[in-house]
């Protein structure tokens, strides 16, 4: 039996604990949605790299030349979707994305494992047409390392359970007080 989703405070506590737990290796894959440069919504899987309850922010890492960065520069509105199968908990974190690279994130580079660093430094740039599947180079390049930080405006949480499914919306402008929604 899960009591944590029966109160707005309990669910809010649990969802932030879920995001903190998601950072432990292997970090959770989440879906990042943005507004495409050409038409409508776009989505892709990314790895959750940070979760800060005090600031109500979560972060992911990417290549500064990737299409998602261009999209977020054009329109910073974004949603991160998370699903915890064990908890039966879906989160939609909606907000605006802050894009940081260079000196602002240089302190993180030494903590990036060697195997992951090559994700930041694909040549030609991610999404560029290439003549063969392996016609690209992956050389770690700190200058291409970017941190995308979602400044969360609202969290839509859905908990599936045997008796009642429960859904709540928490908004920054309401100081995360929360309100129940029909699921
Ligand atoms: C399991 C998985 C994890 C991924 N993690 C990341 C990630 O943390 N950061 C990232 O930029 N791309 C990640 N990718 C690749 C993206 O899904 C996407 O293909 C790539 O970033 C290009 O997206 P864009 O063209 O929308 O920028 C991951 C893909 C998979 C399948």
Domain boundaries, the chain: 4-112+142-181
| Contact between 73 and 159 (Cβ < 8 Å) | no
Of 44, 50, 70, 122, best ligand 1 pocket probe by most atoms within 8 Å of the beta carbon: 44
Max CA-CA distance within the chain? Answer: 56
The DSSP 8-state label assigned to residue 118 in this structure reads T
Nearest residue by C-alpha to atom 18 in ligand 1: 44
Model pLDDT for residues 24-45, shown as the tens digit of each residue: 999 999 999 999 999 899 999 9
Dist. CA 157–CA 39, nearest whole Å: 27
Task: Quick: pLDDT tens for 74-99.
Answer: 999 999 999 999 999 999 999 999 99
For residue range 45-69, list pLDDT tens digits in order. 999 999 999 999 999 999 999 999 9
Q: What is the CATH number of domain 4-112+142-181?
A: 2.30.110.10
Contact assessment for residue 76 and residue 109, using Cβ atoms and an 8 Å cutoff:
no
Atom of ligand 1 nearest to the CA of 69: 27
CA atoms within 13 A on the CB side of 63: 19
Quote the pLDDT of residue 1.
52
pLDDT digits (tens, 9 = 90+) for 140-169: 999 999 999 999 999 999 999 988 899 999
pTM for the whole thing?
Answer: 0.97
């Amino acid at each position: 039996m899960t009591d944590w989703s029966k109160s707005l405070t309990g669910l809010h506590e649990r969802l932030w604990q879920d995001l903190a737990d998601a950072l432990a290796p292997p970090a959770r894959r989440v879906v990042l949605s943005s507004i495409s440069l050409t038409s409508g919504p776009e989505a892709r899987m990314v790895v959750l790299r940070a979760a800060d309850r005090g600031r109500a922010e979560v972060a992911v890492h990417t290549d500064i030349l990737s299409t998602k960065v261009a999209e977020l520069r054009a329109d910073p509105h974004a949603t991160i979707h998370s699903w915890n199968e064990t908890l039966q908990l879906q989160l939609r974190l909606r907000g605006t994305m802050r894009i940081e690279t260079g000196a602002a994130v240089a302190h993180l580079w030494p903590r990036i494992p060697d195997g992951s660093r090559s994700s930041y430094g694909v040549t030609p740039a991610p999404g560029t047409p290439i003549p063969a599947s392996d016609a690209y180079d992956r050389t770690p390049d700190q200058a291409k390392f970017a941190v995308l930080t979602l400044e969360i405006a609202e969290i839509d949480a859905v908990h599936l359970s045997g008796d009642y499914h429960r859904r709540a919306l928490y908004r920054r402008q309401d100081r995360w007080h929360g309100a129940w929604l029909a699921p």
